[in-house]
Structure 1
Amino acid sequence: MELRHLRYFRVVAEELHFRRAAERLQMAQPPLSAQIKQLEHELGFDLFTRTTRQVELTAAGAVYLDRVREILDAVDAAGHQAQRVADGAAGSLSIGCVGSATYSIFPRLIRALRDELPGVDFSVRGEMLVPAQLAALDAGAIDLALLRPPITDPRVVVEPVRSDRLIALVPDSHPFADRAVVDLAALSDDDFIVHAGHGTSMLNGLIVEMCADAGYVPRIRHEVAETSTLVTLVAAGLGVAVVPEPTEALAIAGVSYVPLEPETSIELAAAWIATPASPLVHRAVQVLRRIARE
């Protein structure tokens, strides 16, 4: 028995006329009659009563039709659902994001994905440091990461999204709070608040390099896990920080964002494991590209 036998049976049962059923199936009538007889032989009972005037379902045929419809509808639905997954229009997608992008591009990305891919189940993890994101990608805990390069793992595809300027974050009471620009060297006597990367944070490494170029080693007073906590501690007057410009989206009172000189930027990139990458990941990256352009 093959699915085509069931499809043939359903059409004949709906038409109760072999010629019309054959026309609907775009096949000749004799082969269709032969296929139905083969199905009846395999089942061991008649599905139809046939006379020169009419074709009718037997009682067994009527019961069989109900189940055949369920089977064929389920097969069609499975194929449709699988096609949507193959097209990246259905399924599930987990996305991780570094702190500053969590408050800027991340909300727009999720809204756009929700609007364009309503059949997809999204889960999000914000405020993730890069090492945690790479570990989550490797473990399959997230499918797509928004992070700060460089990434050295050859299995990970990295696509630049945008470049974020680094700015100084100081308390409102700081002498430089009202300046149009501040030289990083002028912050050498301040305590710094940084992310708790334990030597693996991409941003922290860059900040240390920048301070070294300015002639000093930053005095780190606090290490925190989340960008929102970092901004809050600066607002409390516990130190200063260097952050990507999109951090301003947090809009926490008590801090000032001051452009730095020399001007320095840090890249934001999308990253995912090259193999296997689901079509849904590629659809999400397409949406991300558009948002970045906007």
Structure 2
Amino acid sequence: MIDLRRLRHFLTVADTLHFGRAAERLGMTQPPLSQSIMALERDLSADLFVRSKRSVTLTPFGRAWLEHVRPAVQSIAALSDIAQRLRAGTTGRLSLAFVSTADYNVLPRLVERYSASFADVELELIEATSDIQIEALLEGRINAGILISAPSALPAALAYRPLVTEPLVAAVPEPWIDEGRLTLIDGMLRSDDWMAQPLIIFPARVSPDFHELVMGFYRSRGYQPFIRQEAIQMQTIISLVSAGLGMALVPASLQHLIRTGVRYVHIANGTPDLETGLAWRKSDDAPTLTNLIEISSRIGRRSANDAA
């Protein structure tokens, strides 16, 4: 093992090429410095300097070794600062999963603010459904997840904070409106006739709370929906609507996803609100996660339009 103090002594003598000035810079006397350099040379079994009464020069070995010593010592010197930054969460790594719907409301705002405040943190973003996120959180494979789940349905090991609440709107094939299959009054679906149309929806196993929100809405109006197709990605659902396979109830913020052949229509007499929130493992004390939670609290619950 090479003494770090002796490496610093070597660098100072190499920079000054004068034992007296080097000792002064190091705040020590010359004899102990000379002894330190000689001890280092014994450890290396090689001379570092050529000494004479008039000058001190680096040996070829000393010059070559200097190129390795300087960055190594600088790296070691930076370790204390790195440790402090890791404790503060200003560097390190954070793994954040998100449901596809968050792409159109809270995710851009949260990532923008976090990245602006902690630019040196390696932020890993993973798109995943709510069920996959919960499993990954419990197993410690991600730090946090933006998901759709009732807080009461989450495992006790997880903490939760609501981020955005938004109403549902209908995504319908545009030809249905043009051909009179659906009737709009003042640009809205006002009667319940549309509920008889085929529906495209998230599977219950993937997002049980979202699935039940839609199903419960139908039941509250005395309808049992005809589910034509299930899909686990919101972009896929909208593509299927564009293809005319059915309609879908989607978060209002999804109106930012423009797709040919799809029209987003508001529903009269109110629709249920969908809540998206941040979940994390209670035992996870990573400073990078703490900072994310703090930033999420500043975002708070916002309307779909504010969060988009």
Q: TM-score range by the shorter chain?
A: 0.7 to 0.9
1:48 Cα deviation after fit: 3.6
Q: Secondary structure in 2 aligned to 1:12?
A: helix
Whether the 8 Å CA contact 1:180–1:259 is kept in 2: the answer is no
Q: 1:67 to 1:242 in 2, by over 3 A?
A: closer
Is there any run of 5+ residues in structure 1 with no aligned partner, and where?
Answer: none
Kindly state the Cα deviation for residue 101 of structure 1 after the two structures are TM-superposed. 1.5
Please show how residues 93-104 of structure 1 align to structure 2 within 5 Å: 93-104=94-105
Task: List alignment gaps of at least 5 residues for structure 2.
Answer: none
Give the length in aligned residue pairs. 293
Query: Does the CA contact (< 8 Å) of 1:164 and 1:267 recur in 2?
Result: yes
The change in CA–CA distance for 1:185 and 1:52 in structure 2 (over 3 A counts) is same
> Which residue of the other structure, out of 171, 182, 186, is the alignment partner of 1:175?
182
Answer yes or no: is 1:158 the counterpart of 2:174.
no
Deviation at 1:121? 4.8
Q: Deviations over 1:154-204 (max 9, x none)?
A: 332322212122233344415344446556966543333211233752201
Instruction: Indicate the residue corresponding to 1:266 in structure 2.
Output: 274
1:12 maps to which residue? 13
Q: TM-score, normalised by structure 2?
A: 0.75
1:225 deviates by 1.8
Higher mean alpha-carbon deviation, 264-273 vs 85-94, is at 85-94
Label 1:218 to 1:26 Cα distance change in 2 as closer, same or farther (>3 A).
farther
The letter for the 1-side match of 2:182 is P
Q: Give the CA deviation at 1:209.
A: 2.6
User: What is the match of residue 247 of structure 2?
Assistant: 240
Q: Offset at 1:137?
A: 3.1
Determine the C-alpha separation between the residues in 2 that align with 1:66 and 1:228.
54
**1:140-151 counterparts in 2 under 5 A?**
140-151=140-151
SS of alignment partner, residue 222 of structure 1: strand
Deviates more, 1:283-292 or 1:155-164: 283-292
RMSD of aligned alpha carbons: 3.6
Shift of 1:147: 0.6
| Contact 2:169-2:264 within 8 A present in 1 as well | no
8 Å CA contact 1:101, 1:247 repeated in 2: no
Identity, % of aligned positions: 31
Query: For 2:196, what is the secondary structure of its paired residue?
Result: coil
Q: 1:228 to 1:40 in 2, by over 3 A?
A: closer
Equivalent residue for 2:205?
Answer: 198
Aligned position for 1:281: 289
The match for 1:250 is: 257
The separation in 2 between residues aligned to 1:27 and 1:249, in whole angstroms, is 68
